[in-house]
Amino acid sequence: MTDPMSTPTPSAGASVAGAPGGELLRVENLHVSFGTSRGRVHAVSGLSFSLERGKTIGIVGESGSGKSVTSKAIMGLLPRKGVEQSGTIAYAGNDISDFSGRQYRDLWGTEMAMVFQDPMTSLNPVMKIGNQITESLRVKLGMDKAEAKATAIKLLEAVRIPAPEERFKVYPGKMSGGMRQRVVIAMALACGPKLLFADEPTTALDVTVQAQILDLLAEQQRDRFMGMVLVTHDLGVVAGRADEIAVMYAGRIIEKAPVKSLFANMAHPYTEALMNSIPKLEYPTHTRLQAIGGRPPDLVSPPPGCPFAPRCMYRTDICDKERPELTSLPGIPDHLFACHHPVSGAPVPVDLIAGGAR
């Protein structure tokens, strides 16, 4: 029997065996588009990245950049009707790009799981917390009722929910937002996945609870040696919490680098703008936050040049005519960016890089 509280082994029903180490996920040239009355929306265009087990990649960008669509495409959660998807998705060395819904269901829970940003849409409001956690334990791992209950209480305790035996019997509406998010994390971890997607897991929480949830995710990832994809709009969230950062804009990765290299040598103007929009402790009270002017491009008819050009202070004629391809910074081969006029880098507080947004 799989013990979800320890480093997991694949369940008998899983179609793909998790790798004991090394590369866990590889995405190559992923394209996703949706049919609409105005035409096809190109939500993700040519996205590629890889992730090793035990590592974290942060996918950062504003709303509409394609972050959540990328995560759902990898997990097979996008609807089949009206969606066109191409490219290669390899999990633990196995191509899962053309998996059916039934094959993906064998992976959910035991191999990969997701923590969604709004716990109230993830939890059934008329079903007790304990029953929602034990359901997957009984279906996926074959536990009996008593064993599933004991394991669920251990999970609630692991995510630091006080009085887990009592919380096991309450409905989601009786819990705070932070406690509900902890329950969602417990549900995602219940069957011992090796790959965890955390899609804006702290958006609706205040800053103190946000830090607690992020610390909890990092702790559980280390304990379980999971690979994690942390999706957020805030560079401060992934600073100090990710091994690598991929910055997305208009469905594309426009900069990707190890976390320290990105903050020390940020090359894309959009990355610089995201950094400048983070509130700084040294700002005087009531200082107006820096916003990124303009709006993202229309993904039904993307511009021929750089998609960020209309909002970029470094824009020239070539930016409107030619789309820049990802290239590496001189001397830093694993730091990639797509810009005709890379910036030299913006100063970043050392404590932000070292410890993240706490």
How is residue 74 written in tokens?
A: 């990898």
The pLDDT value recorded for residue 162 is 92
Per-domain residue ranges of the chain = 55-76+104-111+195-358, 112-192
Query: What tokens does 350 get?
Result: 């050392």
Looking at residue 281, its pLDDT comes to 74
Paired with 34 in beta bridges are: 41, 83
User: How many residues appear in the chain?
Assistant: 358
DSSP 79-147: -STTEEEEEEEEETTEE-TT--HHHHHHHBTTTEEEE-S-HHHHS-TTS-HHHHHHHHHHHHH---HHH
* DSSP output for 196-209: EEEESTTTTS-HHH
Residue 130 CA to chain centroid, in angstroms? 26
pLDDT at 14: 37
Q: Which of 242, 224, 243 is nearest to 186 (CA)?
A: 224
At residue 104, the pLDDT reads 95
* Domain formed by 55-76+104-111+195-358, architecture: 3-Layer(aba) Sandwich (3.40)
Q: How far, in Å, CA of 319 to CA of 335, rounded?
A: 21
CA dist 82 and 201 (Å) reads 28
If we measure between CA atoms, which residue out of 22, 197, 27 comes closest to residue 96? Answer: 27
Q: Which residue has the tokens 């994690």?
A: 228
- Burial label for 354, CB within 10 Å (0-12, 13-18, 19+), is exposed
CB neighbour burial string for 13-30, b if at least 16 within 10 angstroms, e if fewer = ebbbebbeeebbbbbeeb
Q: How far apart are the C-alpha atoms of 104 and 167, rounded to whole Å?
A: 31
**What per-residue confidence (pLDDT) applies to 344?**
64
Q: Which of 6, 59, 3, 57 minimizes the C-alpha distance to 225? A: 6
Per-residue pLDDT, 357: 39
pLDDT, block means (10 residues), the chain with 358 residues: 44 40 92 94 96 96 93 94 95 94 93 87 92 94 95 92 94 91 92 93 77 87 92 88 95 96 93 86 80 91 94 94 93 94 63 44
Q: Shortest CA distance to 234 belongs to which of 327, 332, 114, 358?
A: 358
Buried b (16+ CB within 10 A) or exposed e, 282-299: eeeeeeeeeebeeebbeb
Q: DSSP code of 43?
A: E
20 within 8 A of 205, measured Cβ to Cβ: no
CB-based burial label for 263 (10 Å; 0-12, 13-18, 19+): buried
End-to-end CA distance of the chain: 38
- Under DSSP, the state recorded for 170 is S
Question: Measured between alpha carbons, how far is residue 208 from residues 178, 211, 212, 213, 270 in Å?
Answer: 10, 5, 7, 9, 28
